[in-house]
Structure 1
Amino acid sequence: MKRVRRLKESKKRKEALRSPSETDLKEISLDLNQNINDIKRTLGGSSDLTVREIRSGTDSNMHIGIIFIDGLADKVMIQESVIDPLMLDIRKTTLSTNVLLHSNCYDILKNFSLASGELKQIELFQSLYEHLLSGDTIILIQGESKGFAVGSRNWEDRGVDEPTSQTVIRGPKDGFTETLRTNTALLRRKIKDPALWIETKPIGHKTKTDVALIYLKGVVEEKVLTEVRERLNKIDTDSILESAYIEEFIQDETYTPFPTIFNSERPDTIAAGLLEGRVGIIVDGTPFVLLVPTLFVQFFQSSEDYYQRFDISIMIRILRYISFFLALLTPSAYIAVTTFHQEMLPTSLLISLASQREGTPFPALIEALLMELTFEVLREAGIRMPRAVGSAISIVGALVLGQAAVEAGIVSSAMVIVVSITAISSFVIPSFNFAISIRLLRFPFMFFAATFGLFGIIVGLLAMVLHLCSLRSFGVPYMSPMAPLIAQEQKDSIFRAPIWNLRRRPSSITKNDSTRSNTPQPKPDSN
Structure 2
Amino acid sequence: MDNLWDKIIGLFGEADPANNNQQPEIRMRGYKGNLAFLRETFGNAHDFCVREFRLGGDGHKVSVVYINHLADPSRIAEEVIMPMASFINMAESPQAKSRPPLAKQLLSSSDLKEITDLKQAETLLLDGWALILIEGLNPVLAVVAHASPGRAVSTAETETTIFGPKQAFVETSAINLALLRQKIKTSKLKVEAFTMGTKTTTKVLLIYIDEIAPDNMVDEARERLSQVEVDELMDSSYLESLMGFGSLSPFPQALYTERPDRVAGNLLEGRVAILVDGSPEALVLPVGFADLFQVAGDYYGRSLSVTLVRALRVLAFFLATTLPALYAALVSFNYEILPTDLTIPVASFRTGIPFPPAIEVFLMLLIVDILQEGATRLPTKVGQTVGVVGGFVLGQAIIQAGLVSPLLLIAIAISLIGSFAMPNYRVIGLVRILRYALLLGGSVLSGVGIMAVWVAIIIHMASIEVLGVPYLRPLAPLRMASMGDFIYRRPYINKPTGSKDNEQGT
Shift of 1:56: 1.6
Match of 1:302 among 295, 298, 312: 295
Match of 1:25 in 2: 26
Match of 1:97 in 2: 93
Q: Deviations over 1:392-429 (max 9, x none)?
A: 11221111111100000111111111111101101111
Match of 1:64 in 2: 62
What pairs up with 1:168-183 in 2 under 5 angstroms? Answer: 168-183=161-176
Q: Quote the Cα distance in structure 1 between the aligned partners of 2:95 and 2:229.
A: 48
Match of 1:248 in 2: 241
| Paired AA for residue 154 in structure 2 | D
Shift of 1:90: 4.2
Match of 1:234 in 2: 227
What pairs up with 1:199-348 in 2 under 5 angstroms? Answer: 199-348=192-341
| Paired AA for residue 230 in structure 1 | E
Q: Deviations over 1:223-270 (max 9, x none)?
A: 111111111111111111111211111133232110111111111111
1:445 counterpart = 2:443? no
Match of 2:475 in 1: 482
Match of 2:453 in 1: 460
Match of 1:36 in 2: 35
Q: Quote the Cα distance in structure 2 between the aligned partners of 1:48 and 1:110.
A: 31
Q: Deviations over 1:438-483 (max 9, x none)?
A: 1111111111111111111111111111111111111111101100
Q: Say which is worse superposed, 32-41 or 121-130, in terms of deviation.
A: 32-41
Shift of 1:36: 1.7
Q: Quote the Cα distance in structure 1 between the aligned partners of 2:146 and 2:276.
A: 17
Q: Once the two structures are aligned, what percentage of the paired residues are identical?
A: 36
From the superposition, tell whether residues 504 and 20 of structure 1 become closer, same or farther in structure 2 (CA, over 3 Å): closer
TM-score of the superposition, structure 2-length normalised? Answer: 0.91
Shift of 1:209: 0.3
Shift of 1:112: 7.1
> Structure 2 regions of 5+ residues with no counterpart?
1-20
| Paired AA for residue 510 in structure 1 | N
What pairs up with 1:408-423 in 2 under 5 angstroms? Answer: 408-423=401-416
1:510 counterpart = 2:502? yes
Shift of 1:89: 5.8
Q: Is the 8 A contact 2:212 2:499 kept in 1?
A: no
Q: Quote the Cα distance in structure 1 between the aligned partners of 2:41 and 2:210.
A: 42
Q: Is the 8 A contact 1:251 1:260 kept in 2?
A: no
Q: Quote the Cα distance in structure 2 between the aligned partners of 1:253 and 1:246.
A: 11
Q: Is the 8 A contact 2:52 2:63 kept in 1?
A: yes
TM-score of the superposition, structure 1-length normalised? Answer: 0.87
Q: Is the 8 A contact 2:113 2:143 kept in 1?
A: yes
Match of 1:135 among 106, 119, 128: 128
| Paired AA for residue 50 in structure 2 | V
1:436 counterpart = 2:434? no
SS at match of 1:280: strand
Q: Is the 8 A contact 1:135 1:155 kept in 2?
A: no
Q: Is the 8 A contact 1:179 1:286 kept in 2?
A: yes
Q: Quote the Cα distance in structure 2 between the aligned partners of 1:245 and 1:294.
A: 16
SS at match of 2:198: coil
Q: Quote the Cα distance in structure 1 between the aligned partners of 2:330 and 2:37.
A: 75
Shift of 1:434: 2.0
Match of 1:79 in 2: 77
| Paired AA for residue 374 in structure 1 | I
| Paired AA for residue 75 in structure 2 | M
| Paired AA for residue 185 in structure 1 | A
Match of 1:519 in 2: none
Match of 2:4 in 1: none
Matched residue count: 482
SS at match of 1:158: coil
From the superposition, tell whether residues 506 and 343 of structure 1 become closer, same or farther in structure 2 (CA, over 3 Å): farther
Q: Quote the Cα distance in structure 2 between the aligned partners of 1:203 and 1:415.
A: 49
From the superposition, tell whether residues 511 and 342 of structure 1 become closer, same or farther in structure 2 (CA, over 3 Å): closer
Q: Is the 8 A contact 2:54 2:62 kept in 1?
A: yes
Q: Quote the Cα distance in structure 1 between the aligned partners of 2:22 and 2:281.
A: 31
Q: Deviations over 1:117-157 (max 9, x none)?
A: 11111111012111111111111100001121111112542
What pairs up with 1:372-387 in 2 under 5 angstroms? Answer: 372-387=365-380
Q: Quote the Cα distance in structure 2 between the aligned partners of 1:241 and 1:99.
A: 53
Q: Deviations over 1:349-371 (max 9, x none)?
A: 22112111112111111111111
Q: Deviations over 1:59-97 (max 9, x none)?
A: 242321111100101222112111222345643x4x532
Q: Is the 8 A contact 2:288 2:473 kept in 1?
A: yes
Q: Is the 8 A contact 1:261 1:291 kept in 2?
A: yes
Q: Quote the Cα distance in structure 1 between the aligned partners of 2:432 and 2:451.
A: 18
Q: Is the 8 A contact 1:213 1:281 kept in 2?
A: yes
Match of 2:159 in 1: 166
| Paired AA for residue 274 in structure 2 | I
Q: Is the 8 A contact 1:252 1:474 kept in 2?
A: no
From the superposition, tell whether residues 391 and 99 of structure 1 become closer, same or farther in structure 2 (CA, over 3 Å): farther
SS at match of 1:68: strand
Q: Say which is worse superposed, 482-491 or 385-394, in terms of deviation.
A: 385-394
SS at match of 1:491: coil
Q: Quote the Cα distance in structure 1 between the aligned partners of 2:126 and 2:104.
A: 26
Q: Quote the Cα distance in structure 1 between the aligned partners of 2:213 and 2:68.
A: 41
Q: Is the 8 A contact 2:289 2:472 kept in 1?
A: yes
Q: Quote the Cα distance in structure 1 between the aligned partners of 2:45 and 2:103.
A: 29
Shift of 1:305: 1.1
Q: Say which is worse superposed, 432-441 or 141-150, in terms of deviation.
A: 432-441
Q: Is the 8 A contact 1:251 1:261 kept in 2?
A: no
From the superposition, tell whether residues 20 and 474 of structure 1 become closer, same or farther in structure 2 (CA, over 3 Å): closer
Match of 2:343 in 1: 350
Q: Quote the Cα distance in structure 1 between the aligned partners of 2:22 and 2:127.
A: 22
Q: Quote the Cα distance in structure 1 between the aligned partners of 2:431 and 2:363.
A: 18
| Paired AA for residue 120 in structure 1 | K
What pairs up with 1:389-408 in 2 under 5 angstroms? Answer: 389-408=382-401
Q: Is the 8 A contact 1:251 1:473 kept in 2?
A: no
Q: Is the 8 A contact 1:62 1:141 kept in 2?
A: yes
Q: Quote the Cα distance in structure 2 between the aligned partners of 1:498 and 1:253.
A: 34
